[in-house]
Amino acid sequence: MGGWLSDKIGNFLVQFLSLILGGTFFLFLPMITVFEWLTVAVFLVSLTIESLRPANMASIASYSKPENLTRSYSLNRMAINLGFSIGPALGGILASYSYEFLFYADGLTCISAGIFFFAYFRNKAPRAVKKATNKDNGLANKSPYRDYPFLVFVLLVAGFAIVFFQLFNTLPLFYRESHHLSEGTIGMLLGLNGLIVFLFEMVLVNHFEKRVPIIKMIVLGTFLCGASYAMLNFAGNIPLLILAMAILSFAEIMAMPFMVTYVINAADKNSQGSYLGLYSLGWATAFMLAPFLGTRIIAGLGFDILWWICAATGAFLSALFFFILRKN
């Protein structure tokens, strides 16, 4: 919905309304005490807030110079990772006083961001608009749902995301149950991912953007993502666990920024929001499936089999990415 609205009414208005309305909804959440109504309210909040994502990615494409596109997305991801690093700490402090403070803080920060966004961007013209190519001529509203290579790409991205998202779901269980690590050590290992991405993504993307084709970065990142999980079957101590996490983090850096660049290049100027919305849907689907599939495999077959499946899936997806993207 966010992508479709971005194409219809513009990414500026979608982002502004998402922040203001979403923030307002957050303020009312603590007042709802009936479970059924709470599920409806959370759905509405999520619907409103998540509409920001494709519109935000489309606006980055419009404000960025074409030669800086991948680095622009990397800078955006750096900001997100910084927020992920600070957010849990602030949330813990607020929750120690009252869980209601979490919702009030979310609401007020979203509304404040919306006001700042409106004040800064309301009269700011895009720096660059992607020019229509001969391929796009005659397609005033290019649809991602009729772009079959792109649909396959989204499916492959969802597969990659299912493997990657084991980082947040089954990997902490593995650290605790197989290596008997404390919560503090587990938190430091998981935090290492955000730290590596924050420190190295902009530098590496800046280095590789003009030297290595997008297809090679996506293929290599996908393969390394699977390989990092395979290492867990040989990791008998903390240094090897750190090394596996580092490889997974660099795989993320290699694959994800270039995936977004591919999406922007696949769309025309009138359909960037729709393309990015479908791309976001692939990630959202993986976010739901990853914990379900991962925990079922653990329950039935154990951690070792899960990591081998992740490694095989990463290798298989990297080969598919190569053959699909090579033709486009």
Structural domain of 28: 2-121
Q: What is the pLDDT of residue 203?
A: 84
* Residue located via tokens 């009729």: 146
Using a pLDDT cut of 90, give the percent of the chain over it: 39
pLDDT above 70 for 134: no
Answer yes or no: do 11 and 50 share one domain.
yes
Is residue 133 included in any domain, yes or no? no
pLDDT above 50 for 127: yes
Q: What is the pLDDT of residue 131?
A: 47
Which of 231-235, 279-283, 305-309 ranks highest by mean pLDDT?
305-309
Angle at which helices 238-266 and 214-230 pack, to 10 degrees?
150
Provide the pLDDT confidence category of residue 225 given band limits of 50, 70 and 90: very high
Q: What is the pLDDT of residue 184?
A: 77
Q: What is the pLDDT of residue 188?
A: 80
Q: What is the pLDDT of residue 118?
A: 92
Let me know the angle formed at the C-alpha of 234 by 230 and 237, rounded to the nearest 5 degrees: 125
pLDDT above 50 for 130: no
Answer yes or no: do 72 and 187 share one domain.
no
Q: What is the pLDDT of residue 212?
A: 84
Provide the pLDDT confidence category of residue 318 given band limits of 50, 70 and 90: very high
pLDDT above 60 for 198: yes
Provide the pLDDT confidence category of residue 141 given band limits of 50, 70 and 90: low
Is residue 172 included in any domain, yes or no? yes
Q: What is the pLDDT of residue 94?
A: 80
Provide the pLDDT confidence category of residue 8 given band limits of 50, 70 and 90: confident
If one counts the domains in the chain, the total is 2
Is residue 105 included in any domain, yes or no? yes
Asked if residue 75 lies in contact with residue 27, where contact means CB atoms within 8 angstroms, the answer is no
pLDDT above 50 for 139: no
**What is the spatial distance between Cα 221 and Cα 282, in angstroms, rounded to a whole number?**
18
- Classify residue 318 by burial, with Cβ atoms within 10 Å: 0-12, 13-18, 19+: buried
Tens of pLDDT along 9-60?
888 888 899 999 999 999 999 898 899 999 999 999 988 988 888 888 878 8
What's the chain's average pLDDT? 85
Q: What is the pLDDT of residue 137?
A: 44
Question: Quick one: CA torsion of 278, 205, 192, 285, rounded to 10 degrees?
Answer: 10
Is residue 36 included in any domain, yes or no? yes
Is residue 204 included in any domain, yes or no? yes
Is residue 132 included in any domain, yes or no? no
Answer yes or no: do 159 and 37 share one domain.
no
Answer yes or no: do 162 and 274 share one domain.
yes
* Residue located via tokens 């980055």: 60
Tens of pLDDT along 246-274?
999 999 999 988 898 888 888 877 777 78
Is residue 185 included in any domain, yes or no? yes
Is residue 45 included in any domain, yes or no? yes
